[in-house]
Structure 1
Amino acid sequence: MSVLGFGLSIEPQLWALVFVMVRIGAAFIAAPVFGAVSVPVMVRVTLSGAIGFLVLATHQVVPPAQVFSAATILAIAAEALVGLAMGFVLQIAFAAPMLASEVIGISMGIGFANAIDPQNGRSSPALGQFFSIMLTLLFLSVNGHLVLVEMIVKSYDVMPVGAAWMGAEQLKGIAFFGGYTFLAGLLLALPVGFLLLCLNLVVGMLSRSAPALNLFAVGLPASLAVGVIALAMAFPAMGDYMLVIIREALAATQNLVLG
């Protein structure tokens, strides 16, 4: 009877752990670094379970009375929506370097240089991979992954399990933060992009004044050389702005969860 009683008492805790892991796992699927293709699924599940134990230790979580019911399915969908929204906001910010690389790469003449991105497993510009790796390293250096885990745990205070539906204002905030990607990407590419634009104007005027001049033989090597030198000179400032992008993304995630 004692063994039977222990089994009956441990089953609700297991269901509560699985219920809590839905939000955490959804956030890890959508968030950068955690959601990379190179991160095994077993690692994500293990991390979700470890953080789930932390949530159960600090919050009172009541599992659903019936597993296969409409209310339980809606509650699980709400938990997944909250987790996906938290990770998606950070993913939006990580798209800014890709936009900057497109602007710079086309001006430099290396927009055709693509490679497989280890983060998402898709083909992306080589310059964009360099920016993405630097942004990821800066994100880890400022403990952004720990801040994300902290916000996930704190989200259970504002959005308890089973009552975590997101309002229209929160969804509106996600949509408006999507515009920040274009702003951040253009500002990140502004120093190098403006210099390359000036170079293209000069090459265009030279081609008009000397029609016999081979534009591709002169303009493409000049754009590539000036672009590499400009990147080397402007990267300290670009690194500082990448930190601003990370802070804005974490602040947007905090506003989404905590208000």
Structure 2
Amino acid sequence: MGTTEALFDANRLLLQAQAYWWPFCRILAVLTLAPVFSHSAVSIRIRVLLALALTLALGGALPAPPTLEALSLAGILATLEQLAFGVMLGLALQLVFTVYSVIGETISTQMGMSMARYNDPQNGVSSSSVLYQVYYTMLVLMFFAIDGHLVLISVLYQSFIFWPIGAGIHFTGLTSTLQALSWALSAAVMVSLPLVFCMTLVLFGFGLLNRISPAMNLFALGFPIAILTGWIGIFLTLPNLAETYLLLTRQMLDNLNEVLRS
């Protein structure tokens, strides 16, 4: 070490910290919306610690960021850019879980089980339907069974390769994100269509009975039959849940690959 070299150079340390600051912003935004990690059971402190650990693990292998002052206007815009990228990426990764969220809400409404969230004396008003909580538990188990957390880290790393820091937000990425959201809604409709059709037939049959015999108490008879029919339909379609989940996940990753390479 030369005699004129400073032992502590704040400017040099600040420039080195900037190489980790912008990846940290993107990774934290992704973990805020990514499946499993965005659940309310994972506290904000755990997400911040996970984002910090991933930043330290991936920071040395990422492309060099542009030389910008963190507190300048360009640096603040770069930070907002990374947050926007992270939000878009997290939404894209969350789409498969969103599909089953729509499925759970749709089938619960047809079965009449959506009232359970308003009649829960133990937990109060629930934010999601009972059926989606069943689907969510199985999705979490399949997520870790297929090493979804490792796939998430790989997608994060590839995002810095194809969307480097300072590249800007392109119109193609925004349109692809909107198309991915429409794909999630259409996939939810296709998966839930058999059960919805069966429940519609059952409700239509009870409607005909009401026209034939108005004195019949259809609420006492139709409500249990609708729930029983719905659970039978779920039992028959449940063995295909893993295959459908893998198919939707593969399609989601293919769409995400096209967005990154665009």
Range class of TM-score, shorter chain? 0.7 to 0.9
Alignment partners' CA distance in 2, 1:54 and 1:167: 28
- Which of 201, 204, 219 is equivalent to 2:204? 201
Question: Structure 1 residue aligned with 2:248, among 224, 245, 249?
Answer: 245
Match for residue 128 of structure 1 among 107, 129, 132 = 132
CA deviation after TM superposition for structure 1 residue 135, in Å: 2.1
Q: Which residue of 2 aligns with 1:153?
A: 157
Q: Following superposition of structure 1 onto structure 2, how do residues 67-216 of structure 1 map, counting pairs within 5 Å? A: 67-114=70-117, 123-163=127-167, 165-216=168-219
Local SS of the residue matching 2:204: helix
Q: Tell whether the 8 Å contact from 1:19 to 1:63 is kept in structure 2 after alignment.
A: no
Percent of aligned pairs sharing the same letter? 28
Structure 2: runs of 5+ lacking an equivalent: none
SS at match of 2:94: helix
**CA displacement 1:107-143 (0-9 Å, x = unmatched):** 2121211289xxxx96111112112222222222212
Aligned length: 254
Cα deviation, residue 150, structure 1: 0.6
Question: Match of 1:222, as an amino acid?
Answer: I
Residue aligning to 1:31: 34
Match of 2:261 in 1: 258
User: Could you list the per-position Cα deviations for residues 119-178 of structure 1 after superposition, in whole angstroms to 9, with x for gaps in the alignment?
Assistant: xx9611111211222222222221222112111112222222222x22111100111111
Q: What 5-or-longer segments of structure 1 have no aligned partner?
A: none
Please tell me the root mean square deviation across aligned C-alpha atoms, in Å. 2.4
Residue 244 of structure 1: CA displacement?
2.1
| Aligned-pair CA distance for 1:7 | 6.0
Task: Read off the aligned partner of 1:41 and give its amino acid letter.
Answer: I
1:50 maps to what in 2? 53
* Structure 1 residues 107 and 67, CA gap change in structure 2 (3 angstroms): closer
1:257, CA displacement in angstroms? 2.1
Is the contact between residue 97 and residue 136 of structure 2 (CA under 8 Å) also seen in structure 1? yes
Q: CA deviation at 1:88?
A: 1.0
Question: Aligned equivalents of 2:102 and 2:93: distance in 1?
Answer: 15
Structure 1 residues 139 and 252, CA, compared in 2 at 3 Å: closer, same or farther? farther
Structure 1, 58-67 or 71-80: larger mean CA deviation: 58-67
- CA deviations 1:25-78 (Å, max 9, x no partner) are 111112121222221333222322232233332234246442221111111111
Match of 2:22 among 19, 25, 28: 19
One of 206, 217, 222 as aligned partner of 1:219: 222
CA distance in 1, matches of 2:26, 2:70: 17
Q: TM-score, normalised by structure 2?
A: 0.86
* Local SS of the residue matching 1:34: coil
**Hey, what's the Cα distance between the residues in 1 that align with 2:28 and 2:35?**
13
Show structure 1 runs of 4+ deviating over 4 A. Answer: 5-9
- CA, structure 1 residues 63+40, in 2 after alignment: closer, same or farther (shift >3 Å)? farther
The DSSP-based 3-state class of the residue aligned with 1:57 is: helix
> Could you tell me which amino acid in structure 1 is paired with residue 156 of structure 2?
I
Q: Deviations over 1:191-223 (max 9, x none)?
A: 222221121222222222223322112211211
Structure 1 length-normalised TM = 0.87
Instruction: State how far apart, in whole Å, the 1-side matches of 2:132 and 2:59 are.
Output: 40
Change (3 A) 1:60 1:200: closer
Match of 2:43 in 1: 40
